[in-house]
Amino acid sequence: MDKHISAAAILEAEILERIPLADAMDLKVPRYTGDEIEMTAPLAPNVNDKGCAFGGSMASLLTLAGWGLVELGLRAQGLECDIYVGDSQLRYHEPVWGELRGTARFVKQGVLAALAASLRERGKGHLDVVCEIAGERRAAATLTARFFARLRK
Amino acid sequence: MDKHISAAAILEAEILERIPLADAMDLKVPRYTGDEIEMTAPLAPNVNDKGCAFGGSMASLLTLAGWGLVELGLRAQGLECDIYVGDSQLRYHEPVWGELRGTARFVKQGVLAALAASLRERGKGHLDVVCEIAGERRAAATLTARFFARLRK
């Protein structure tokens, strides 16, 4: 199996086992390329009182996508880390009336390599990720978030 | 029963019935004063891979608290609205290793009355809310969010 597909499948199983809310959301990790990750969730378990996607589900999906992108990127470099989300800016542009589809990517090239170097040198570091939930004509929601990584002892 | 206690109990039942993710979080609404609302959730269904509270659960609790504060404030004025979360700034200051306890309050006095006037005049409006999850010595996480309200036809 392609190493990216395999990494995404392992991550999905780990998330569903260790993060009960992701399991309640029925989260899937259908795509990972090394530079980008996609996570999806059906509407039914993520609906709100108005019949569209609950803001908390969107925030959760976007946060998981960003975290997963960093987690898999560092694993590929042989770095086992604890990764925490830091300050985040969430913009909701339009409601989502169907499946939630979120993608995360690094804000610029080279940030993963820089984080890996910082982890090897100082045992910690951070980088910024941008995550979007697909909408009808534009992103339905956007998250810009900083993630902090710390090398596991 | 005190009208605020009764309003909080009704809101809790509605949230659990209509927002499956809030039910999965085991959300409670133990306190509402008119100016402030408190929501709580136990750690177990909201834990992450590191054993502390999942960022998405914190974002969801904070978003629900802000939304609930606006919803109950407008109901008390006899206004039935659809209320959507807008742009949000989330700051995570420290991990939460136990029950999540979040409170929401208006950013300044008079904003609810101003929103009610806007709704009566134009059928829509918005206001800003600040929500915090309690930490050991300071807030563990803070959400500043804009909520948009639209009068239901």
A116, with CB counted inside 10 A (0-12, 13-18, 19+), is buried
Give the model's confidence band at A1: pLDDT under 50 very low, under 70 low, under 90 confident, else very high. Answer: low
Tokens representing A1 are 């199996």
Cα–chain center distance at A72 = 10
CATH number, domain B3-151: 3.10.129.10
* SS3 labels along chain B: CCHHHHHHHHHHHHHHHHCHHHHHHCCEEEEECCCEEEEEECCHHHECCCCCECHHHHHHHHHHHHHHHHHHHHHHCCCCEEEEEEEEEEEECCCCCCCEEEEEEECCCCHHHHHHHHHHHHCEEEEEEEEEEECCCCEEEEEEEEEEEEECC
Residues of A in contact with B150 (CB under 8 A): none
Tokens representing B81 are 């609205």
Is the pLDDT reported for residue B87 higher than 70? Answer: yes
Nearest CA distance, B21 vs chain A (angstrom): 6
User: What ipTM score was computed for the predicted complex, to two decimals?
Assistant: 0.92
Is the pLDDT reported for residue A42 higher than 80? Answer: yes
Q: What is the mean pLDDT of residues B54-79?
A: 96
Greatest C-alpha distance within chain B: 49
Query: pLDDT > 90: what percent of chain A?
Result: 92
Are A60 and B57 inside 8 Å of each other by CB? yes
Name the β-bridge partners of A36.
A105
> Residue B149 in contact with residue B81, Cβ under 8 Å?
yes
**Residue that is written with structure tokens 């100016």 in the block:** B35
Q: How much is the pLDDT for B128? A: 96
Is the pLDDT reported for residue A153 higher than 90? Answer: no
- The per-residue pLDDT for range A79-131, each reduced to its tens digit, is 999 999 999 999 999 999 999 999 999 999 999 999 999 999 999 999 999 99
Q: What length does chain A have?
A: 153
Is the pLDDT reported for residue A29 higher than 80? Answer: yes
Give the model's confidence band at B96: pLDDT under 50 very low, under 70 low, under 90 confident, else very high. Answer: very high
Are B59 and A89 inside 8 Å of each other by CB? no
Residues of B in contact with A49 (CB under 8 A): 14-15, 18-19
Could you tell me the pTM of the whole model? 0.94
Residues of A in contact with B59 (CB under 8 A): 56, 59-60, 63, 88, 90
Cα nearest neighbour of B93 on chain A: A86
**Average pLDDT value over all residues in chain B:** 95
**Of B21, B48, B87, which is closest to A25 when you measure between CB atoms?**
B21
Residues of A in contact with B60 (CB under 8 A): 21, 54-57, 59-60
Is the pLDDT reported for residue B118 higher than 90? Answer: yes
Greatest C-alpha distance within chain A: 49
Alpha-carbon gap, residue A16 to A23, rounded angstroms: 5
Enumerate the domain spans of chain B. Answer: 3-151
Cα nearest neighbour of B56 on chain A: A60
Q: Which of residues 12-71 of A touch B (CB under 8 A)?
A: 14-15, 18-22, 24-25, 44-50, 54-57, 59-61, 63-64, 67
> Residue A33 in contact with residue A71, Cβ under 8 Å?
no
